Structure 1
Amino acid sequence: MAVSNRITAILNFLIFLSSIPVIAAGIWLASKPDNECVQLLRWPVVVLGGLLLLVSLIGFVGAYCNRPGFLAVYLFCMALLILLLLILLVIAFTVTRPDGSHPVAGSQFQEYRLDGYSSWLRNHVTSSGSWQNVRTCLAVSDVCPKLDRQFSSAHQFFAADISPLQSGCCKPPAACGYTYETPTTWVNPENPTSDPDCLMWSNERTRLCYDCSGCKAGLLGNLRQEWRKANAVLIVAVVVLIFVYLVACAAYKNAQIQNISVRYKHGWI
């Protein structure tokens, strides 16, 4: 076996093994309580891991057994996978570049404005049809109730770095002037503002601020954080796959040369 074939086989075996924790991470991400209502980033991670597993297995067999046919299929699939990752990376950077967060005086967490995010995210996540499903999911999830279990005082709550989703959906906006009782129970101000989000707030556990623009913006803030983390993984994956692809091209060339030599030796050509 040529050196390039050995290297390709070893690299693809490592990619095969690494795809298993990628799939596990995707399943874990999909089952996280905080993100159970956010679906844009959940299953693509599992699909990516599955594609890596399948393509690396084809590359390993092709390189180890010196099969030009397997290597040709592998190179074609790898090129498509690299192209897919590059497109996904560009989209991820484009839609997560705007940041709708702004600081809240006297607290560790931030609040979020809906118009601070890309129009693509707003249209695909917070449209009326999509939001009804998300809102229903949030109302029965543990995203907000667990804040009541975590924080027993106002000092603890305002010093905590809660998620964008919790900041936008589980409490009224700071500008409304509500008085803290628990993370999900607030006393109405004497002079309420006309801000629609302030009027939408309710201490009912099934309502809270789930219909607020701030809640939708908090969801986009969660998505932005997740995509930003995914971007780092995608960059590493693209660099590694391009390197493996170049080595595999050399292995494919060696397999073709060896195949021609064998056929010539036996008088088949």
Structure 2
Amino acid sequence: MRSSNNLIGLVNFFTFLLSIPILGGGIWLSSRANSTDCLRFLQWPLIIIGISIMVVSLAGIAGACYQNKFLMWLYLFAMFFVIAALIGFIIFAYAVTDKGSGRFVMNRRYLDYYLHDYSGWLKDRVTDNGYWNEIGSCVRDSGVCKKIRRDLNGVPETPQMFYFRKLSPVESGCCKPPTDCGYTYVNETVWIPGGEMVGPNPDCMLWNNDQRLLCYQCSSCKAGVLGSLKKSWRKVSVINIVVLIILVIFYVIAYAAYRNIKRIDNDEPVGEARMTKSHPSHFQI
């Protein structure tokens, strides 16, 4: 029984350690939300799951140390729902970021982003006027388009140098006009009409060289935010899948150890009865 308790305590300790990357992923998404992603409510489910695993693991450790079967049972019961919630979050994260990606552009290293390439709940959330006013302001205030400028020791960046830069989805969607608008490059955030427009694109009329406007109201900017969210969520989801697999393995081990403790407890009265029968008292009258 003591060895089973020690095993459950060890499993709970490792489970506690596994909660750290989950909580860290939520905090990282939160920091991304404050910089470019700007969709602040998405990281909270992950943070809550990480904290829940920490608390439940501590309860399991306490139950193993003090041989409290109620706390160990509570750990198994609560961890089952935490694992189910983590599975649900992973499925949700992949479902809402399933469609949409940047498009390759000839003679460009960066990708262009188009809103109609995306669909589903996340797109509806981002494009909602109430949400986008807040998200667009957040992207502008983050200074992401100011940071796109490079210092080349006083040498101006040529168009070809810019075309072969690797831009983030937000930088490509919000800080420059779409390539098919045919704008002529002046610098990273100043473009003027003059090229040949390829097809009708409403964003071409929305671009403005005013640094407070740029393309923050463009569909390409919304698509860039969706592209950035997809990259962030996919990175976190890969970590969550690895953690989930290990959590399930640990849960099965802890459950088997707990059942072993119950079996030993149930066998003890029988064992004691057998000892009494095998060694009757010599003081019977």
Q: Normalising by structure 2, report the TM-score.
A: 0.83
How much does 1:100 deviate?
A: 3.5
How much does 1:134 deviate?
A: 0.4
Who wins on radius of gyration, i.e. which is larger? 2
Which of 161, 167, 183 matches 1:162? 167
Specify the alignment match of 2:127 in structure 1.
126
How much does 1:22 deviate?
A: 4.0
Contact 1:100 1:115 in 2 (8 A): no
How much does 1:115 deviate?
A: 1.6
Matched residues, number: 267
Specify the alignment match of 1:234 in structure 2.
240
CA shift digits 1:185-231 (9 cap, x unpaired) = 11222666752101100111111101001111111111111121122
In structure 1, give the amino acid aligned to 2:187: T
Contact 1:67 1:255 in 2 (8 A): no
Which of 166, 183, 188 matches 2:188? 183
Specify the alignment match of 2:222 in structure 1.
216
Q: 1:6 to 1:110 in 2, by over 3 A?
A: same
State whether structure 2 residue 179 is matched by structure 1 residue 174.
Answer: yes
Specify the alignment match of 1:93 in structure 2.
94
Note the aligned Cα RMSD (angstroms).
Answer: 2.6
1:12 & 1:128 partners in 2: Cα distance?
45
Query: Which SS does the other structure have where 2:148 is aligned?
Result: helix
How much does 1:264 deviate?
A: 7.9
Specify the alignment match of 1:8 in structure 2.
8
Contact 1:140 1:206 in 2 (8 A): no
Q: 1:184 to 1:70 in 2, by over 3 A?
A: same
In structure 1, give the amino acid aligned to 2:20: I
In structure 2, give the amino acid aligned to 1:30: S
Specify the alignment match of 1:30 in structure 2.
30
Percentage identity across paired residues of the two chains: 37
Q: 1:49 to 1:10 in 2, by over 3 A?
A: same
Query: Which SS does the other structure have where 2:147 is aligned?
Result: helix
How much does 1:133 deviate?
A: 0.6
Q: 1:134 to 1:92 in 2, by over 3 A?
A: same
Contact 2:63 2:69 in 1 (8 A): yes
Specify the alignment match of 1:55 in structure 2.
56
Q: Tell me, which stretches of 5 or more residues in structure 2 are unaligned?
A: 274-285
- After superposing the two structures, state which structure 1 stretch, 45-54 or 143-152, moved more: 143-152
Q: Normalising by structure 1, report the TM-score.
A: 0.88
Contact 2:37 2:228 in 1 (8 A): no
State whether structure 2 residue 105 is matched by structure 1 residue 104.
Answer: yes
CA shift digits 1:78-126 (9 cap, x unpaired) = 1101111111122222222212421112111111121212221111121
- After superposing the two structures, state which structure 1 stretch, 43-52 or 18-27, moved more: 18-27
